[in-house]
Structure 1
Amino acid sequence: MNRTDLTPTPTLREVLRACEASLREAGVDTPELDARLLVQHALGMRREDLLIQALKRLTPPMVERVFGFVGRRAAREPVSRILGRREFWSMDFTLDASTLDPRPDTETLVEAALALVPDRGAALSILDLGTGTGCILLALLGELPRARGLGIDVQAAAVATADANARRLGFASRAGFRQGDWAAGLEERFDVVLSNPPYIPDADIPTLEPEVAAHDPRAALAGGPDGLDAYRRLAPQVAAVLKPGGHFVFEVGAGQVPAVTEIFTASGLVVDGTRHDLGRVERCVFGRAAA
Structure 2
Amino acid sequence: MATIESLLNTAELPDSPSPRLDAEWLLAAALGKSGSYLRTWPEREVADAIAERFAASLARRRKGEPVAYILGRQGFWSLELDVSPDTLIPRPDTELLVETALTLLPETALDALDLGTGTGAIALALALERPAWRLTGVDRVEQAVALAEGNCKRLGLGNVDFLPSHWFSALRARRFSLIVANPPYIAENDPHLSQGDVRFEPSSALIAGPDGLDDLRTIIARAPDHLAAGGWLLLEHGHDQAQAVRELLAAGGFVAVESRRDLAGHARISLGCRV
In the superposition, the TM-score normalised over structure 2's length comes to: 0.94
Question: Which letter does structure 2 place at the counterpart of 1:241?
Answer: H
Residue of 21, 24, 33 corresponding to 1:33? 21
Query: Conserved in 1, the CA contact under 8 Å of 2:246 and 2:258?
Result: no
Query: Conserved in 2, the CA contact under 8 Å of 1:154 and 1:180?
Result: yes
Q: Distance in 1 between matches of 2:185 and 2:78?
A: 26
Quick one: percent identity of the two aligned structures?
Answer: 39
Question: Which letter does structure 2 place at the counterpart of 1:15?
Answer: L
Quote the offset at 1:266 in angstroms: 2.7
Residue of 72, 90, 112 corresponding to 1:102? 90
Question: Which letter does structure 2 place at the counterpart of 1:13?
Answer: E
Residue of 10, 34, 42 corresponding to 1:18? 10
Residue of 163, 168, 193 corresponding to 2:154? 168
Matched, 1:83 2:68: no
Query: Conserved in 2, the CA contact under 8 Å of 1:133 and 1:161?
Result: yes
Question: Which letter does structure 2 place at the counterpart of 1:197?
Answer: P
Quote the offset at 1:197 in angstroms: 0.5
Report how many residues are paired: 274
Q: Distance in 2 between matches of 1:284 and 1:206?
A: 20
Call closer, same or farther: CA 1:131–1:93 in 2, change over 3 Å: same
Quote the offset at 1:145 in angstroms: 1.8
* Residues 89-110 of structure 1 deviation map (CA, whole Å, 9 limit, x = unaligned): 1111111111110111111111
User: Which residue does the alignment assign to 1:127?
Assistant: 113
SS of 1:203's partner is coil
Name segments (4+ residues, structure 1) moved above 4 Å. Answer: 205-208
Call closer, same or farther: CA 1:51–1:221 in 2, change over 3 Å: closer
Matched, 1:150 2:142: no
* Residues 238-268 of structure 1 deviation map (CA, whole Å, 9 limit, x = unaligned): 1100001111100011221222222223332
Structure 1: gaps (5+ residues): 1-8
Question: Which letter does structure 2 place at the counterpart of 1:77?
Answer: E
Q: Distance in 2 between matches of 1:274 and 1:77?
A: 33
SS of 1:201's partner is coil
Question: Which letter does structure 2 place at the counterpart of 1:183?
Answer: F
Call closer, same or farther: CA 1:271–1:205 in 2, change over 3 Å: farther
Out of 56-65 and 84-93, give the one that drifted further.
Answer: 56-65
Residue of 177, 190, 195 corresponding to 1:209? 195
* Residues 154-208 of structure 1 deviation map (CA, whole Å, 9 limit, x = unaligned): 100000011111111121x211001011012422110000000000000005555
User: Which residue does the alignment assign to 2:122?
Assistant: 136
Higher-Rg member (1/2): 1
Q: Distance in 1 between matches of 2:27 and 2:211?
A: 41
Q: CA RMSD in A?
A: 1.6
Query: Conserved in 2, the CA contact under 8 Å of 1:205 and 1:222?
Result: no
Question: Which letter does structure 1 place at the counterpart of 2:112?
Answer: I
Q: Distance in 1 between matches of 2:217 and 2:228?
A: 20
Out of 262-271 and 84-93, give the one that drifted further.
Answer: 262-271
User: Which residue does the alignment assign to 2:165?
Assistant: 180
Residue of 230, 237, 240 corresponding to 2:222? 237
Call closer, same or farther: CA 1:157–1:207 in 2, change over 3 Å: closer
SS of 2:244's partner is helix
Question: Which letter does structure 1 place at the counterpart of 2:205?
Answer: A
Q: Distance in 2 between matches of 1:185 and 1:63?
A: 48
Q: Distance in 2 between matches of 1:239 and 1:143?
A: 26
SS of 1:13's partner is helix
In the superposition, the TM-score normalised over structure 1's length comes to: 0.89
Quote the offset at 1:123 in angstroms: 0.1
Residue of 248, 272, 275 corresponding to 1:287? 272
Quote the offset at 1:234 in angstroms: 1.1
SS of 1:69's partner is helix
Q: Distance in 2 between matches of 1:49 and 1:113?
A: 36
TM alignment of 1:46-85, pairs within 5 A: 46-51=34-39, 53-85=41-73
Q: Distance in 2 between matches of 1:262 and 1:268?
A: 10
